Amino acid sequence: MVTPVIEVADLRKAYGRRSVLEGVSFQVAEGEIFGLLGPNGAGKTTTVECCEGLRRADGGSVRVLGLDPVRQAAQLRSRIGVQLQQAQLQDALRVGEALELYASFYPRPCDRRELLAQWGLADHRETPFGKLSGGLRQRLFIALALVGNPEVAFLDELTTGLDPQGRRDTWELVRQVRDSGVTVVLVSHFMDEVEALCDRAAVLDGGRIVASGTPRELIARSGIGGTLSFRPGGPLDPAELAGLPGVTGVEESDGRVVVSGTGGYADEVTGLLARRGMVVTGLRIKEHSLDDAYVALTGHRN
């Protein structure tokens, strides 16, 4: 990895006697969308707040853009953008006023008109915060995180409260933000979101990172594999299939053969069928999703 934008090493944090982070380490590269996943209470927000300089770690080290978020807070603050998890604004504050207020905290804020248009808020410039729908509030919070032209944006619960189309639109906008050179750290509960959006992700559980990598790597690492099923055109010995590398199970029902496996098991099965000259029909391959991998890695249903 080229010089990482975020370097977290052996991060430790306790609230009173309760240890929440027990040696968390990960790195985020420039210009990537990095996801932080984990069950409720896993310590995601605490980790991100240590990166933002909002919380002081008990041990370990955190560097963001090469800066110590606590000791060099003033320098860092102007270079990062933060979407607060349960952010609230005064009901009477208008959308345009909120953006101007947040822009005033930064030395090089972006063009507010463009930002409003980009996030579909142009027609709501004069709308008071209290009158915005849940979806528009969410878009405003994201816009507020970006108004300072940050080099790193921390987005927490990005699409909570958005409808399916709104979520997809938001993902596309976040990709554009990434493509413009901003590094994005995304705290998310939604596996489909991480799978669709993140270049890499880390799974936090029990105060530690239990796995990290691209969504594909996380699925592969969880060892859950997938299934391949078909109707054979002639007799086939299930024991022969079961003996192939990566195959973890073979079942037959209703004339269909269902082979489960991991790694390159599917290539092994199709190779065997080809060697036997076996014609099959109704071939289906089902790969497991990041959702399945998450359950396998953490033992929690999301």
Residue whose CB is less far from ligand ATP, 15 or 105: 15
- Total site size for ligand ATP, rule CB under 6 A: 10
Residue whose CB is less far from ligand ATP, 35 or 43: 43
In the complex, the smallest distance separating the C-beta of residue 22 from ligand ATP, rounded to whole angstroms, is: 12
Q: Does 44 bind ligand ATP (CB under 6 A)?
A: yes
Choose the binding region for ligand ATP from 38-46, 103-111, 137-145, 284-292 (rule: CB under 6 A): 38-46
Given a contact cutoff of 8 angstroms between Cβ atoms, the answer to whether 178 and 31 are in contact is yes
Q: Is 114 exposed, middle or buried (0-12, 13-18, 19+ CB in 10 A)?
A: exposed
Q: Does 35 bind ligand ATP (CB under 6 A)?
A: no
Contact residue for ligand ATP among 6, 28, 37, 38 (CB under 6 A): 38
Q: Does 40 bind ligand ATP (CB under 6 A)?
A: yes
Pattern 45-84, ligand ATP, x by CB under 6 A: xx--------------------------------------
Q: Does 15 bind ligand ATP (CB under 6 A)?
A: yes
Q: Does 89 bind ligand ATP (CB under 6 A)?
A: no
Residue whose CB is less far from ligand ATP, 156 or 268: 156
Q: Does 188 bind ligand ATP (CB under 6 A)?
A: no
Sheet holding 208-213, edge to edge: 80-83, 152-156, 183-187, 33-37, 200-205, 208-213
Given a contact cutoff of 8 angstroms between Cβ atoms, the answer to whether 62 and 37 are in contact is no
The total of other beta-carbon atoms located within 10 Å of residue 164's CB is 8
Q: Does 42 bind ligand ATP (CB under 6 A)?
A: yes
> Where along the sequence are the contacts to ligand ATP (CB under 6 A)?
15, 20, 38, 40-46
